[in-house]
Amino acid sequence: MMNSSDRKLSILHLIEAPQWTGAMSQTLELVLGLRNRGHRVALACTPKSILERRASDAGIDVVGMEMRSELNPVTIARLVWMVWTRHVDVIHAHRAHAHTLGLLAAALTGRPFLVSRRVSFKPKQNWGSRVKYTSRRVTRITAVSQAVKDILVDFGVRPEVVEVIYSGSDPGRYSPDSDGMRIRREFGIAPDAPLVGKVANFYHGWKGHDIFLDAARRVVGDIRDARFLLVGHKTDSEKMQDMISSFGLSDSVVTAGYRTDVPDILAALDVSVNCPRAGEGLSGAVRESLAVGRPVVATDVGGNRELVRDGETGLLVPPEDAASLAEAIVRLLSDGGLAAGLAANGADFVRANLTIDRMVETTEQLYMDVLAEVGKR
């Protein structure tokens, strides 16, 4: 193992970033962390995206590239040019299209190639996915949870290729000191009203917003003054308002849309809910809720059980089971001692295991180990 302090690297990260998501946030945190540790880092991402703007504002060497096509010859040529001109040691891709483009650039330049896998969906059963995930040109795949690794191995990826590196939260930003009362005042929610929230970067069927609303309808039957908060892209859309109305919850649900003050949003909640049907690799909303000291109810899919240890750091319920979800929410709203104990345990767990610093250090060491392996061949 090469000590991470022995060498400073030149690293190229690439990711298509049509909208701001957890993958974008974690990629930017990794890039900034590696730069702060003395490495030269370049980022290729979607032009005019939020990620490009934020990386540029932070002084990152960022280049906008079109990545809608996985076989774009101009983008591949530009990536190869970046590798040569920046004397890149390692290429690291973070989403599906970037995976293909980076794999081709790595094949043309002979550089080690790493891929991050953040969802627990099984890769598609086609020739392209087989090449992308099982090619010997893929030096390592970093999985954000053991659940994601298990799925990749079941797909046919060699176990020794996959490294589990948990995503991280900034304990300085996500902390129990966040100002939840400001959020309650903004949305006209009483300080003592039971407030249950679902935070997701975007609306999608697999995220389970309909299950959340079905559970909310049941909770209101037991706790009439309970309020519910939806946060994320398109949660304030007309389609979402129609769904809320169909559950008879127009007076109980507040929709906040896209927000950048997520720590304060989470701090305003009495219970944070994550209820996807599938696909969750390692939920940022769960990790951040725990960091802020909020009790969590989550469906038992993907990597959720690696964050939410049932009865210890939160409560787990079966997916697509609104009745069980509602029962768990009511249990936490009705038992302050249980809620406080789970929240405290969850915050301790995140601070000990799921920080950005730890994610950056572990990834840095992986780069060093990969380069040491390549040097021995």
CATH number at residue 106: 3.40.50.2000
| 321 and 225 part of one domain | yes
- Residue 153 sits in the same domain as residue 232: no
Give the structural domain span for 276: 180-353
Whether residue 334 is contained in a domain is answered as: yes
> Is residue 20 assigned to a domain?
yes
Looking at the fold, whether 132 and 226 belong to one and the same domain comes out as no
Angle at CA 287, nearest 5°, toward 284 and 290?
A: 145
Tokens representing residue 330 in the block: 């009511």
Give the pair of three-digit tokens for residue 94. 């973070």
Q: Is residue 73 part of a domain?
A: yes
Provide the 3-class DSSP secondary structure of residue 300. Answer: coil
pLDDT value at position 125?
A: 85
**Positions in the chain short of pLDDT 70:** 1-5, 201-203, 376-377
Domain annotation covers residue 174? no
Q: Are residues 185 and 93 in the same domain?
A: no
Q: What CA–CA distance (Å, rounded) separates 237 from 258?
A: 11
Q: What is the pLDDT of residue 280?
A: 87
Tell me whether residue 251 is in a domain.
Answer: yes
The DSSP code sequence of 24-56 is HHHHHHHHHHHHHTT-EEEEEE-TT-HHHHHHH
pTM of this structure: 0.91
Asked if residue 1 belongs to a domain, the reply is no
Distance CA 204, CA 210 (A): 10
62 has which bridge partners?
A: 43
Model pLDDT for residues 11-63, shown as the tens digit of each residue: 999 999 888 888 999 999 999 999 999 999 999 999 999 999 999 999 999 99
In a domain, 160, yes or no: yes
274 and 367 share a domain? Answer: no
Same domain? 99 vs 64? yes
**70 and 195 both lie in a single domain:** no
pLDDT of 227:
98
Are 268 and 309 part of one and the same domain?
Answer: yes
Distance CA 159, CA 101 (A): 23
Tell me whether residue 230 is in a domain: yes
Structure tokens at 59: 């002084």
Predicted confidence at residue 21, as pLDDT, reads: 86
Whether residues 124 and 255 fall in one domain? no
Verify that 121 and 229 share a domain, yes or no. Answer: no
Contacts of 92 (CB under 8 A, 6+ apart): 11, 12, 13, 14, 102, 113, 114, 115, 116
Domains in the chain, number: 2
Question: pLDDT digit string (tens) for 132-171?
Answer: 999 999 999 999 999 999 999 999 999 999 999 999 999 8
Q: Check whether residue 191 and residue 150 sit in a common domain.
A: no
Q: Are residues 244 and 346 in the same domain?
A: yes
Strand partners, 142: 116, 163
